[in-house]
Amino acid sequence: MAILSMTEMPKLKELAQKYGYTIHIHDSCGGQAFGLDKASENASDEVYEALESFFKEYKMTVTYFDARKTGFTVK
């Protein structure tokens, strides 16, 4: 499992906010998991493409837990 450095976390949170979302990072011994919540009524589904592009820059791939795409990991 890939790990996003702590110095990159603020960039990720700022990116999610641009699309009306809040992102939560859950860090544990086995790796990281991320939660995505709508923070405004104007939240845009374009956030998913933006997240995938963000992680692609770090040579990571987003894997969503389910069709709702509210949680994911990266590899």
- Residue-wise pLDDT tens digits, 17-47: 999 999 999 987 778 999 999 999 999 999 9
Percent of the chain whose predicted confidence (pLDDT) is above 70: 99
Give bridge partners of residue 74 from the DSSP assignment: 62
Give bridge partners of residue 33 from the DSSP assignment: 26
For the stretch 44-65, what's the b/e string if a residue is b when 16 or more beta carbons lie within 10 angstroms of its beta carbon? eeebbeebeebbeeeebebebe
Q: Who's near 38: CB < 8 A, 6+ residues apart?
A: 20, 21, 22
